[in-house]
Amino acid sequence: MIISERVNRIGVSSTMKVAAEAKKMTAEGINVIDLSVGEPDLPTPQNVKDAAIRAINENETKYTLNAGTVELRKAIAKKLKDDNGLDYSIEEIIVSNGAKQSIFNAVHTVVYNDDEVIIPAPYWVSYPEMVTLAHGKSVILPTEERDGFKVKPEQLERAITPKTKALILCNPSNPTGSAYTKKELEKIAEVIRGKNFYILSDEIYEKLVYDDFEFISFASLSDEMKQRTVVINGVSKSYAMTGWRIGYTAGPEQIIKGINKIQSHSTSNASSISQAAAVEALIGPQETLEQMRREFERRRNYMFQELISIEGISCYKPEGAFYLFPGISSFFHKSTETLKIENSFDLSMYLLYEAKVAVIPGSSFGAEGFIRLSYATSMENIKEAIVRIKDALVKLA
């Protein structure tokens, strides 16, 4: 049996290979500390769980509107107004099964047939694969650690062609945690003013920013940018709700109508119960979110200080998300008895076998020479992981 050419064109990322090996070792009874995680370790807030239980007991258990309940879309519109100063009607908002589906649908609404999509690297692993599935072409723009992994306006300008259909901006970024200031976003907006393509702005880590960093939604920069921006956000990361699968998109009505069509022929509405929970997350008390944010900030500060004290490691101090993305290329070409380290995948495997710590190679995110460490795990785990990483790297040096 032959599977489709389209599926053959996309790959399983090397993220999976490290994770699979880590799982295997854990199953064998080895104490592996997992710093590859992409979700908060804290539980979903109790008020959110209670809202879901209420929804079940009140039989809110049927299909909802394809675009999501009116109540949830009103809560999202209020959030976008209060937090980002953006006015969207509920016809300009659609709820999907996680922000991943929101992005998938947005890419498929905008991109087809060799359309070009500009993606700054390091990028979230799924963007280029989604573009490939939509028959588009990814134009990858490498960024530098010394620039905070932010795309330079002149670099962006050079990448724009008549075939450009979209720019995907991940702000704050997975995997680097770096986030754009208002000034930096304005410089990007200046370059793309008057051009004919969309900005898909993935703002899923919006609430997880540190040191009084002020998050700005790309759509709020000007009327023109609002007309051309598709805002993607959700409750997964901010409210520790990854399993509930609620993401949303706000944007020009014709884009939302397109997404509505795709969703109506694939998954239909997101879970009715999760939608009721998401209403509570967005409009209910926000204290647990702030507690979680502060805890992440504490862990980021600790992990960052420890990492930069290790000889051979460089690290950008990120503004947001829950990842650090240290440069580790100085360990390339070092050897152990059994392994020669040539790239970030080799170093990740070395750390897994030698330190029993799971990390993700930068190559998975289109950035060789780095690894991604998540601090969405307990301080105790982080402290032990750092000790183990230091010991393992000293052996290499």
Q: Of 95-103, 257-265, 301-309, 346-354, which segment contacts ligand PLP by CB under 6 A?
A: 95-103
Q: Is the dihedral of CA 268, 10, 138, 120 positive or negative?
A: positive
Nearer to ligand PLP, 67 or 170 (CB): 170
Q: Residue 334 — φ and ψ, nearest 5°?
A: -90, 155
- Distance CA(192)–CA(339), nearest Å, equals 47
* Residue 366 in contact with ligand PLP, rule: CB under 6 A: no
List the helix and strand counts (H, then E) for the chain: 14, 12
How many residues lie near ligand PLP (CB under 6 A)?
Answer: 13
Q: What is the DSSP letter of 223?
A: H
C-beta separation of 192 from 168 below 8 A: no
Q: Of 97-105, 280-288, 307-315, 356-364, which segment contacts ligand PLP by CB under 6 A?
A: 97-105
Rule CB under 6 A: choose which of 34, 202, 206, 306 binds ligand PLP.
202
Chain center to CA of 97:
15
Q: Of 93-101, 189-197, 285-293, 329-337, which segment contacts ligand PLP by CB under 6 A?
A: 93-101
Q: Taking the complex as a whole, how short is the minimal distance between the CB of residue 278 and ligand PLP, in angstroms?
A: 11
Q: Taking the complex as a whole, how short is the minimal distance between the CB of residue 100 and ligand PLP, in angstroms?
A: 3
C-beta separation of 359 from 36 below 8 A: yes
Rule CB under 6 A: choose which of 151, 189, 204, 393 binds ligand PLP.
204
Strands 33-34 and 357-358 turn out to be parallel
Cross-strand partners of 167: 118, 199
Q: Taking the complex as a whole, how short is the minimal distance between the CB of residue 203 and ligand PLP, in angstroms?
A: 9
- Residue labelled with tokens 């100085």: 330
* Angle at alpha carbon of residue 314, lines to 293 and 147, rounded to 5°: 75
Nearer to ligand PLP, 64 or 174 (CB): 174
- For residue 144, give every residue at least 6 positions away whose Cβ sits within 8 Å of its Cβ, in sequence order, or none: none
C-beta separation of 166 from 117 below 8 A: yes
Rule CB under 6 A: choose which of 136, 247, 258, 318 binds ligand PLP.
247
Nearer to ligand PLP, 205 or 304 (CB): 205
Q: Taking the complex as a whole, how short is the minimal distance between the CB of residue 241 and ligand PLP, in angstroms?
A: 8
Closest-CB residue for ligand PLP? 98
* Residue 124 in contact with ligand PLP, rule: CB under 6 A: yes
Nearer to ligand PLP, 278 or 315 (CB): 278
Cross-strand partners of 324: 373
* Residue 100 in contact with ligand PLP, rule: CB under 6 A: yes
* Residue 122 in contact with ligand PLP, rule: CB under 6 A: no
- Distance CA(381)–CA(379), nearest Å, equals 5
Q: Of 48-56, 234-242, 273-281, 339-347, which segment contacts ligand PLP by CB under 6 A?
A: 234-242
Q: Would you state the structure tokens that stand for residue 213, as one six-digit string? A: 């960093």
Q: Which residues bind ligand PLP (CB under 6 A)?
A: 38, 98-100, 124, 170, 174, 202, 204, 234, 236, 242, 247
